[in-house]
Amino acid sequence: MGLLSATLSLARYRVDGRIPDPFMDNVRERLKNFMIREIDNDPAEKSSGWTCFESPYEPDFDKANLVFGTHLVFSLRIDKKQIPAKVLNKHLHAAVAKRLTQTGRNSLTRNEKQELRDEVARRLYVRIPATPNTYEVVWNYEGGSLWFFSTQKAANEELESLFSKTFRLSIIRLFPYTEADLTCGLTDDQKDLLQQLQPTVFKKEGTHA
C-alpha cells in the first residue's frame, strides 16, 4: 500500500514551523540523526527510524534524492522481531531446568522466572532477523501538509513521535475536528461554535427518521 502501489492508503497531517537554513542540509542531517539502526545480530526487539525512499534497506541520506517536485519524500522504517511462542517456551523450559539444577531448588519465584524469560528472549533476539516494514512520507514543506502511507495506529504513533523529535516541528493529524479547525478557514465565531457542537439527532424518538 506504498506510494507507488496500485492501491494506496494514507493518513494526512498538518505540519507547522520552519527548519532553519541551510534547509536541505538541515533536513539531511536530522534524518541522519534518527536513521534506522540495524538490529540483526543484536538483542534489541525493535528499531524504528528514517530511511530513504529509493533504498530503504541501505539508507544513505548524503546521496539520496529527497526532493520530488515541491515535496520531500522519505520513509519511516520499523523493524521488529517476533519469537514464536512455542520456541520461547521451549528455550525457557530448558533454562528453568538448568537453573533449578544449578541452585538445587524445586521452583523459581515469579520474578526469577520473568527475569529468565527476558534473558532467554534477548538471546533468541540475537539469532532472529528483524522483519522490516517501510511506510512512505510525502511532505509538502511549503504547504505545511504531510501524507503518511499507512493508516495503522501504531505506525502513525511512531511517525508522530519520531517526526517531532527529528524536526522539532508541530505535527497534527487531520481528522474531522482538526481538519475543520485548522484547514477550513473558519472565523473565530465559527471555531467557538465548533467547540460547542453536539451530535445531530436524525431519528426522532417514536418515528422512523
Partner 1 sequence: MLDVAVAYNRYKYLGHEFLTWLWFMMETDKAGLKFPDSDSIDLTVGNRIVLENSRHNRDETVTIKGDGAGLEEGVVALQKGALVTEISLAAKTPEAEWRFNLRGESLNITSFKPPEKSSESEEGDTEQRVLGQISQVERIENILHHLYRQFIRIRLSGDWSKTVVPAMRRWMIQSAS
Residue ranges that bind partner 1, judged by CB under 8 A: 3-4, 6-12, 53-54, 65, 68-69, 71, 73, 138, 147, 151, 172-186, 190, 193-195, 197, 199-200, 202-204, 208-209
* Spatial separation of the C-alpha atoms in residues 159 and 50, rounded to whole Å: 9
Farthest-apart Cα atoms in the chain, separation? 76
* Spatial separation of the C-alpha atoms in residues 46 and 36, rounded to whole Å: 10
**With respect to partner 1, which residue has the nearer C-beta, 10 or 108?**
10
At closest approach, how far in Å is the CB of 147 from partner 1?
A: 7
Helix axes 188-196, 176-183, angle to 10 degrees: 170
**With respect to partner 1, which residue has the nearer C-beta, 119 or 181?**
181
**With respect to partner 1, which residue has the nearer C-beta, 27 or 73?**
73
At closest approach, how far in Å is the CB of 90 from partner 1?
A: 40
At closest approach, how far in Å is the CB of 92 from partner 1?
A: 37
**With respect to partner 1, which residue has the nearer C-beta, 84 or 175?**
175
**With respect to partner 1, which residue has the nearer C-beta, 9 or 26?**
9
**With respect to partner 1, which residue has the nearer C-beta, 110 or 203?**
203
* Spatial separation of the C-alpha atoms in residues 67 and 26, rounded to whole Å: 14
At closest approach, how far in Å is the CB of 16 from partner 1?
A: 12
Region of residue 41 (left: phi > 0; alpha: psi -120 to 50; beta: else): left
Question: DSSP letters of 132-183?
Answer: EEEEEEEEETTTTEEEES---HHHHHHHHHHHHHHH--EEEE--HHHHHHHH
Q: Residue 150, Cβ neighbours under 10 Å: how many?
A: 22
At closest approach, how far in Å is the CB of 84 from partner 1?
A: 30
Instruction: Print burial letters for 4-15: b (CB count within 10 Å at least 16), e (below 16).
Output: eeeeeebbebbb
At closest approach, how far in Å is the CB of 188 from partner 1?
A: 12
